[in-house]
Amino acid sequence: MNPIDPNATLTALVTARPGLAATLDRVGLDYCCGGRRTLAAAADAAGLDLDTVLEILNRVSETEPEAGSEGWTSMSPTELVDHLEATHHAYLREALPRAAVLADKVASVHAERHPELAVVSGLVAELRAELEPHLMKEERILFPMIRELGAATQTPQFHCGSLANPIRVMAFEHDTAGDLLARLRAATSGYAVPDDGCASYQALYVTLAELEADTHLHVHKENNVLFPAVLDAEASIGGSPR
């Protein structure tokens, strides 16, 4: 296994070695919306020691498979939208309501001693209000057009013109969700449960950490794998150039 290149972008690292995604989340490096930065630049911006980060990533990389064992890295756009709906969309539809209920419950009991929980509850509500309509727009508008493009021999006539237009909107909404997740991580001090945290408190922070990790990987698959492939496919059959 080759050592991690500090000059590689975070996007390239996760696409080549999907198993690194969880570790990047754990050390606080955003590989989805902030994936165009190199590892060195991202570590510097986060105030992390690059040598320490490289040591952690190389240790994980020794036991993680490279791309190829993760099916989504080689899927066609049509296959990938099916995968996204069956995995990440299904997960969010279950996790977002559960997180909202937990956040409200924990805030109602512990907010007097931990006022940040009111912020956490509000951010979870904002994230849910952002992501649930986003999923619907992808499933009802963008993903059906991607499937139509995949079956076409000439450019379909979409009401939006080029697929670059709805993709741009979805990417903007990904940035909004990414910002909300970053604010949640900050408000919870990296999902650190205080000493007096009850079982529900712990369940909330575990749920939020899992939600962050799943959404980061979800957005990475769309922003950095699906969307470029769709735009390339559209251009290859005579659509708008990238």
Give the model's confidence band at 65: pLDDT under 50 very low, under 70 low, under 90 confident, else very high. low
**What is the predicted pLDDT for the residue at 198?**
93
Q: What whole-number distance in Å separates Cα of residue 227 and Cα of residue 232?
A: 9
Q: Give the chain's mean pLDDT.
A: 91
Give the model's confidence band at 30: pLDDT under 50 very low, under 70 low, under 90 confident, else very high. confident
- Please enumerate in sequence order all residues whose Cβ is within 8 A of that of 159, keeping only pairs 6 or more positions apart, or say none: none
Q: What whole-number distance in Å separates Cα of residue 91 and Cα of residue 87?
A: 6
pTM for the whole structure: 0.86
Answer whether residue 6 shows pLDDT above 60: yes
232's tokens: 């390339």
pLDDT tens per residue, range 123-182:
999 999 999 999 999 999 999 999 999 998 877 878 888 899 999 999 999 999 999 999
**What is the predicted pLDDT for the residue at 153?**
80
- Please enumerate in sequence order all residues whose Cβ is within 8 A of that of 168, keeping only pairs 6 or more positions apart, or say none: none
pLDDT tens per residue, range 131-140:
999 999 999 9
Q: Which of 30-34, 58-62, 145-149 has the highest mean pLDDT?
A: 145-149
Q: What is the mean pLDDT of residues 198-226?
A: 95
Q: What whole-number distance in Å separates Cα of residue 102 and Cα of residue 108?
A: 10
**What is the predicted pLDDT for the residue at 155?**
76
Among residues 208, 180, 181, the alpha carbon closest in space to that of 192 is found at 208
**What is the predicted pLDDT for the residue at 68?**
45
**What is the predicted pLDDT for the residue at 64?**
60
